[in-house]
């Protein structure tokens, strides 16, 4: 087992830090910087949720409560700093959100963690509804429907850093993201992290050997709320406005999607999910009005065909990678990629034609689909896209057999070598 502070891990985290630092040099456009900032916030939020679900086995439908409350407290702190009533470095303002998340995590967790499983999920849902409705009632703090606006460029600039430019905000988020990732990773190696795994896997046995399962769940939820609050504070700095939606059910649902799509069984799973979900939400919404449908279908496909998430798919290839036999899978994967592209092209074209046929009120309903003009008012386009879709399904079904045989051959070879 590799120690948490081994030279290998130090080199790895150093490489992650260099990657964060180099990102703006590769993606220098303002849109790219904004998306990278959103990804950093989402990574912290998703990893904090994984502390609940992945490590402790607590399915929560209200984790955005702590993210949102941290954001609101940070927004008020920025406004107080701007008014000269409070001095605090903007770089450390996310800590205020973390402390706010910790306090409310201790408070709500004292009640919710007395139960696990379905009762915990339902209690968390009730708390989420209670806090979301309170956001529209207590307008002095939450700002009502308009939310709380703030200004991140407050106080005196330090070494020319005022956080007015997006690149400065990105590096702030990247720094906090790196620190939080390292802290949450280290937590998995602590006695508390091990106890949380034991409570997740077999709470009765953990209680029998002397663990206080309620206390373990309470501590893990409080720490998860702390990191979620830090993510919320960074969101307040990034967007300069916090609304009731920040702590609503939609935000809580988003973090659940991130965790499941990436994979809750692996530390890196929520990171993958956060990056993908942010990318899909930001990129797809610019290309199609039906992006929510595609997003939902993508989630369904992951849950149905890879319940362990994308990280689990990657982990399945570890024995093959260690045996240096990955190249044996590449031909079948390449054929599968072509077949999948054909099927998805036909499917997406059909969805877009249905959407344009129903949604547009103009006389001409023709639209461009990756450079091809499609007109839902003409039957030949429906027939053509349907044929492409059916051909794609047939190709995918055939390639499935090819990939299966390639995996069967590799499994036999790995067993003979003792690699699995």
Per-residue pLDDT of the chain (420 residues; tens, 9 = 90+): 455 667 888 898 999 999 999 999 888 888 889 999 999 999 999 999 999 998 999 999 999 999 999 999 999 999 998 888 888 888 899 999 999 999 999 999 998 998 888 899 999 999 998 998 888 888 888 988 888 999 888 877 666 777 888 899 999 999 999 999 999 999 998 999 999 999 988 888 888 888 889 999 999 999 999 999 999 999 999 999 999 889 888 889 899 999 999 988 788 999 999 999 998 888 777 777 777 888 888 888 888 888 888 988 888 888 888 888 888 888 888 998 999 899 989 998 888 888 888 765 555 677 788 878 888 888 888 999 999 999 999 998 888 888 888 888 888 877 877 655
pLDDT at residue 325 in the model: 82
Quick one: residue 26, left, alpha or beta (phi over 0 = left, psi -120 to 50 = alpha)?
alpha
According to DSSP, residue 53 is labeled I
The four Cα atoms 394, 397, 399, 405 give a dihedral, to 10 degrees, of -150
Q: What is the pLDDT of residue 361?
A: 57
Which 8-state DSSP code applies to residue 364?
-
How far is it, in rounded angstroms, from Cα 7 to Cα 4? 9
Contacts of 172 (CB under 8 A, 6+ apart): 91, 163, 234, 237
Q: Are strands 372-374 and 148-149 parallel, antiparallel or unpaired?
A: unpaired
pLDDT for position 18:
94
> Residue ranges per domain, the chain?
7-275, 318-417
DSSP label at residue 110: H
pLDDT of residue 171: 93
pLDDT of residue 420: 56
pLDDT at 161: 78
Torsion angle of C-alpha atoms 142, 146, 148, 151, degrees rounded to 10: 180
* Residue 419: per-residue pLDDT: 57
Q: Which class is domain 7-275?
A: mainly alpha
DSSP 373-412: EE-TTSHHHHHHHHHHHHHHHHHHHHHHHHHHHHHHHHHH
Collect all residues with Cβ–Cβ distance below 8 Å to 336 and sequence separation of at least 6. 396, 399, 400, 402, 403
What is the CATH number that goes with domain 318-417? 1.10.287
- Determine the pLDDT at residue 2: 53
CA-CA-CA-CA dihedral for 319, 320, 323, 326, to nearest 10: -160
52: how many CB neighbours lie within 10 A of its CB? Answer: 29
pLDDT of residue 360: 55
Report the C-alpha gap between 103 and 60 in whole angstroms. Answer: 18
On whether the CB atoms of residues 302 and 387 are closer than 8 A, the answer is: no
Backbone dihedral angles phi then psi of residue 290, each to the nearest 5 degrees: -95, 25
Nearest Cα to Cα of residue 51 among 196, 174, 178, 182: 196
Q: Is 299 exposed, middle or buried (0-12, 13-18, 19+ CB in 10 A)?
A: middle
């Amino acid at each position: 087992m590799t120690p948490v502070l081994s030279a290998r891990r130090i080199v790895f985290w150093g490489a992650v830090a260099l990657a964060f630092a180099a990102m703006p040099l590769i993606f220098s456009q303002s849109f790219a910087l904004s998306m990278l900032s959103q990804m950093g916030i989402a990574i912290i939020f998703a990893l904090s949720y994984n502390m609940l679900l992945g490590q402790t086995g607590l399915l929560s439908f209200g984790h955005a409560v702590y993210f949102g409350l941290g954001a609101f407290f940070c927004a008020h702190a920025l406004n107080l700093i701007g008014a000269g009533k409070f001095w605090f470095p903007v770089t450390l303002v996310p800590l205020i959100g973390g402390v706010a998340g910790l306090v409310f995590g201790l408070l709500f967790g004292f009640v919710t963690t007395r139960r696990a499983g379905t009762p915990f999920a339902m209690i968390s849902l009730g708390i989420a509804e209670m806090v979301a409705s309170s956001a529209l009632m207590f307008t002095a703090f939450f700002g009502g429907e308009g939310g709380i606006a703030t200004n991140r460029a407050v106080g005196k600039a330090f070494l020319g850093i005022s956080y007015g430019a997006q690149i400065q905000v990105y590096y702030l988020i990247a720094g906090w993201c790196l620190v939080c990732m390292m802290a949450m990773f280290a937590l998995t190696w602590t006695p508390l992290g091990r106890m949380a795994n034991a409570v997740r896997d077999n709470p009765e046995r953990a209680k029998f050997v002397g663990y206080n399962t309620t206390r373990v769940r309470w501590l893990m939820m409080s720490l998860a709320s702390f990191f979620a609050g830090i993510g919320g504070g960074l969101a307040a700095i990034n967007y300069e406005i916090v609304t009731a939606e920040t702590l609503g059910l939609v935000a809580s649902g988003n973090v659940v999607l991130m965790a499941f799509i990436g994979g809750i069984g692996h530390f890196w799973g929520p990171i993958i999910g956060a990056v993908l979900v942010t990318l899909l939400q930001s990129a797809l919404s610019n290309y199609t009005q039906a992006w929510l449908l595609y997003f939902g279908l993508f989630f369904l496909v992951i849950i149905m065909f890879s319940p362990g998430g994308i990280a689990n798919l990657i982990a399945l290839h570890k024995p093959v990678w260690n045996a240096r036999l990955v190249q044996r899978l590449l031909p079948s994967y390449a054929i599968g990629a072509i077949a999948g592209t054909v099927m998805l092209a036909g499917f997406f074209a059909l969805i877009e034609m249905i959407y344009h046929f129903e949604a547009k009120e103009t006389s001409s309903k023709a639209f461009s689909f990756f450079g091809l003009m499609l007109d839902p008012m003409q039957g030949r386009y429906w027939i053509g896209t349907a044929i492409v879709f059916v051909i794609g399904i047939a190709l995918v079904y055939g390639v499935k057999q090819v990939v299966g045989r390639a995996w069967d051959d590799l499994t036999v070879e790995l067993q003979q070598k003792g690699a699995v």
